[in-house]
Amino acid sequence: MHRWLSLTLALVWTSHSLPAVAASADVTLESLLAELTNPDASARWPQPEYTCRQASSYDRGTVAPDQPGWFANSDQNQFVRVETNAGRTEKVVLDADGPGCIVRFWLTTDRNKQGTMRFYFDGAAEPALIFPAYDLLSGDLRIGAPLAQPHPEYRPDANGGNNFYLPIPYASHCKVTWEEAGQSSRYYQINYRTYMPGTVVHTFTREALEASRPTIERTNRILAEPPDDIAGRSVAKEMEVAAGGESALDLPRGPAAVRRLELRVPKDPPSAPERQLRSLIVRIDFDGEPSVWCPASDFFGSGVGLNQVRSWYRSVATDGTLVCRWVMPYRDAARITLLNLAPQAINVTVRATVDSWAWDDRSMHFHAVWRYESDLKTPPPRDWNFVKIAGRGVYVGDTLALFNPIATWYGEGDEKIRVDGESFPSHVGTGTEDYYGYSYAPKPVHQTPFCGEPRLDQPMTQGHSTSTRTRNLDTIPFHRSLQFDIELISWRSTTLTYAATTYWYAFPGATSNVAPQPREAALPIPTLAEAVAANAPKRRPGAIECETMKVLAKSNEVTVSEQDMDPFGGERWSSGIHLLGKTAGPGDFVEIAFPAPDAQPRRLVLYATQAPDYAMLKFQVNGQPVAAILDGFAESVQPAPAFPLGVFAPRNGQFVLRVEVAGANPAARGIKYLIGLDCVTLEKP
């Protein structure tokens, strides 16, 4: 899943690699900090050009979709190699040729934070930066939040995801290593740029850092409190959008750019925003091309409902104000349309701040699309597609709003991002929560400038959850295509509903595989109460539950107890529970009794459980032996086929079932002698 150090380096210039050129300007720590807070930067094709890749501790068993390790999940302690430097054993986390720059460093670990990280630049034998343990985030560079952003639950003695956004440029090469005594769970992700050959990059130094202190402090202030008094002409319209209707706002002729987009919606009654904001569609056309089709709440990063969002590019307030600060250029014309798919009208005020824009051959249109799918059963694991984009552009972020009907962590799955038709993704992650900047499964609602979790209904992610990530220096340029998938891997069996919003810039003519989904956007919002009722295990018709039967006798070594089968797909067992018997081996037994409905004989059918460590069983009913033996072995935990015991007359108003361990299947492993009894049904012969 996730957690701290090991890095993969896939530094490969694709077939469209450009020849070496002289960059228009040197890349320095100062220039990168300026880019970090320049709202125009992502809306133009990058200059100097770069690729963005990710090194991470993903399980190296992940090789290809047709290989068995494609969904391997031991995403920790995976390193490029181990080497000896000056007598030290160091594990290489990143080994990247430049010119380049580290633009995001996420890491986490267990409670053991002992160890040393070293940065080697430009082939030097000695490290330029040395950090004891986690001081990269806790203070050795004295960067401060939000450029160095520990998780809100971070403590020196606890786990928690940490994000480091201070750019670390290098002229020709960067190597990062990790040294520690022993081994703990280390997980990491490093996003890094590789500039075109010939780009002049000034390598990070302590001297450059000290010279940039005022800029760093100013950058932290701006990222924490994005300016809202954006210059430009304000164009607004109050709308009452009828049910099934739409209303549009035409913007001033271009060239121009939307620099701030605001919606104001009613916040009352409290239940209205969920359905209304999912069914209120933001549709934007730039220069005659459809560019945005997305439910309002998802577009602004809130997911389902009106949840507070405080990020660099978007803000959502619980008073019903939703703001987007992505710069959206257009050459000639732009129209913002609100489409209401809800069964009642909604009053909305839309306000766009529009300013001048110098349209050139690097200018791109902004895009956002929304993909929804319900009934996503997992296991089995699978890759779920957020988007496939054809064209030339820059990927800038996504929001994942989902519904999980059961109390379990759903997000073990890794992101896999392919650029320009890569056979193997240049971005492979370590878990859904790590991609979104936290770690170790569910965390409380939190906000950072570029990632956060605005909604989390339950600590174990039951109900609605929203995670969002936007990219700044870690945007992903693509020349021909980009494909974003994420694995569906849950701790327990569940059926998920996913709604993914993806954001990118692209040159005119770019397309995606995501079409508008008006039917899905108009659906009622699922509730937890409905989901719990729908997913509650059903009782088998006529079943007498074994876990409710009276235990008359058992071997001294045998223990019996109820077991909740929810982790194994509880709906497959009657009432979702079975009676678990733990025995020492052959000959051990348990006798259970249940009342007969009358004095007439009945055909008894047993429903039991099979698993890799379950025994072969023989039976008696009211002292009469059953000829057949039930083999409890199976490769996975599953209900056994219906097992007829035979026709028996009750004795003293009841049936007594004796279950005895007869042995074990040769393929059985582990304990081998467990008993699992679900229920018995009685039929007239």
Instruction: Provide DSSP, 507-574.
Output: -TT-EES----HHHHTSPPP-HHHHHHHHSPPPPTTEEEGGGSEEEEE-TT-EEEEEE-GGGTGGGSG
pLDDT for the residue numbered 272: 61
586-599 pLDDT per residue, tens: 999 999 999 999 99
Condensed to tens digits (0 to 9), the pLDDT of residues 258-287 reads 999 999 998 765 546 798 999 999 999 999
d(CA 203, CA 121): 7
Burial 355-369 (b: 16+ CB within 10 A, else e): eebebeeebbbbbbb
Q: What is the pLDDT of residue 2?
A: 37
The 10s digit of each residue's pLDDT in 420-472 is 999 999 999 999 999 999 888 888 898 899 999 999 999 889 999 999 999 99
pLDDT at 201: 98
Residue 365 three-state SS: strand
pLDDT given at position 561: 95
| pLDDT for 6 | 29
Quick check: 20 pLDDT over 50?
Answer: no
Strand 365-378 versus strand 289-295 pairing type? parallel
558-589 residue pLDDT tens: 999 999 888 887 889 999 999 999 999 999 99
- Report d(CA 93, CA 11) in Å as an integer: 14
50 vs 569, higher pLDDT: 50
For 316, phi and psi rounded to 5 degrees? Answer: -130, 125
What was the pLDDT predicted at 227? 87
Yes or no: say if 8 and 78 are a contact pair by the CB < 8 Å rule: yes
Cβ-based neighbours of 335, under 8 Å, separated by 6 or more: 248, 249, 250, 251, 284, 285
Cβ contacts of 34 within 8 Å, gap of 6 or more:
215
Residue 151: per-residue pLDDT: 65
Neighbouring C-beta atoms of residue 268, cutoff 10 Å:
8
DSSP secondary structure, 434-455, as one string? HHTT--SS----EE-SSEEEEE
Bridge partner residues of 250 (DSSP): 335
pLDDT given for residue 152 in this prediction: 61
- Better-scored residue on pLDDT, 20 or 157: 157
The first and second tokens of residue 241, run together, are 């959008």
Q: How confident is the model at residue 157 (pLDDT cuts 50, 70, 90)?
A: low
Tell me if residue 475 falls in helix, strand or coil.
coil
Cβ pair 117, 131 in contact under 8 A: yes
Are 155 and 231 in contact by the 8 Å Cβ rule? The answer is no
pLDDT tens-digit profile of 205-241?
A: 999 999 999 999 999 999 999 988 898 999 999 999 9
> Worst-scoring range by mean pLDDT, 16-30, 40-54, 93-107, 336-350?
16-30
Q: pLDDT at residue 10 above 70?
A: no
pLDDT of residue 19 exceeding 70, the answer is: no
What does the alpha-carbon distance between residue 398 and residue 498 come to, in Å, rounded to a whole number?
A: 13
- Position 161 scores a pLDDT of 72
Question: 132-141, 282-291, 618-627, 629-638: lowest mean pLDDT where?
Answer: 132-141
* Angle of helix 213-224 versus helix 29-36 axis, rounded to 10: 10
User: Which tens digit of pLDDT belongs to each residue from 508-528?
Assistant: 999 999 999 999 999 999 998
- Domains, the chain, in order of start with CATH, read 29-224 (2.60.120.1390), 228-363 (2.60.120.1390), 543-683 (2.60.120.260)
Q: What's the pLDDT at 5?
A: 30
Residue of 239, 240, 259, 257 whose CA lies nearest to 249: 239
**330-371: per-residue pLDDT in tens?**
999 999 999 999 999 999 999 999 999 999 999 999 999 999
pLDDT for 646-658, tens place per residue? 999 999 999 999 9
- Low-confidence winner among 2-6, 109-113, 180-184, 548-552 (lowest mean pLDDT): 2-6
Whether the CB-CB separation of 91 and 5 falls below 8 Å is answered with yes
Work out the mean pLDDT of the chain and round it to a whole number: 91
Candidates 428, 488, 433; CA nearest to 460 is: 433
| Residue 1 pLDDT | 43
**For position 3, what pLDDT does the model report?**
33
Distance from C-alpha of 431 to C-alpha of 427, rounded to nearest angstrom = 12
Is residue 32 over pLDDT 70? yes
